[in-house]
Amino acid sequence: MNAFIQKIEDITLKNDNIINRNIIGTNYLEKLKYLIIENLKNLDKFILENLIVDLKNSNDQLIKYKFKDDLLFSSISLYKDSLSRIKTRHNHDILSIVINGFKKVDVFDFYENNKSISLFISKNMGLVLSENTVTSENIASGSVILDIFYEKKILNIEN
């Protein structure tokens, strides 16, 4: 396992110990975002350099990982070339963190599809989006992006 992925796994386990386990979805990802970004700022540069080397050596510049708690899965991508995604609907709650580079996200209004807001995300910044959010993304070449997806499970709760 890559040292960076192990560090992210450790952060999520630490997060589970800090916050109430009943916090789920975007609220959980928002709390996780601050812990990951705080740890990224202090992360050994050697670990990040090894991550980039591992991404360059993988065929599709992508590393996927499923966390132990079964609710989270992640992908870390290296974008050698710039990328644009236009009006994509997200299937899961998602935390997106820029490890290196730059990302612009246009978030579209749920009711008025022509209305949007632009967000510029640079190194050590992140964004949490809820399921079914429609976005357009522009990712700069050379960027490394960590996406953590929260897979919602149907809870059997009696009234």
pLDDT, tens digit (0-9, with 9 covering 90-100), for 71-96: 788 889 999 999 999 999 999 999 99
Q: Is residue 72 part of a domain?
A: yes
CB 94 within 8 A of CB 147: yes
* Pair of tokens at residue 30: 């928002």
- Residues 104-109 have a mean pLDDT of 95
Q: Is residue 69 part of a domain?
A: yes
pLDDT of residue 19 exceeding 90, the answer is no
- Residues 84-111 have a mean pLDDT of 93
CB 63 within 8 A of CB 146: no
Q: What ranges in 42-140 are assigned the alpha helix state H? A: 45-57
Q: Is residue 156 part of a domain?
A: no
Q: Is residue 158 part of a domain?
A: no
* Pair of tokens at residue 28: 């959980």
Q: Is residue 155 part of a domain?
A: no
Quick one: CA dihedral 79, 5, 100, 90, positive or negative? positive
What pLDDT, in 10s, does the model give residues 118-147? 999 999 999 999 999 999 999 999 999 999
Report the CATH number at residue 60: 2.60.120.10
Q: How many domains does the chain have?
A: 1
10: left (phi over 0), alpha (psi -120 to 50) or beta: alpha
- Residue 153: the pLDDT is 62
CB atoms within 10 A of CB 143: 21
- Residues 1-8 have a mean pLDDT of 80
- Residues 28-49 have a mean pLDDT of 87
Q: Is residue 88 part of a domain?
A: yes
- Geometric angle at alpha carbon 16, from 27 and 45, rounded to 5°: 95
CB 140 within 8 A of CB 78: no
Count the alpha carbons within 13 Å of 33 in the hemisphere toward its beta carbon: 21
Q: Which 3 state secondary structure label does DSSP give 63?
A: strand
Q: φ, ψ for residue 90 (rounded to 5)?
A: -85, 135
Task: Please measure the distance between the N-terminal and C-terminal CA atoms of the chain and give it in whole angstroms.
Answer: 42
Q: Is residue 46 part of a domain?
A: yes
- Residue 10: the pLDDT is 83
Range of the domain at 132: 3-150
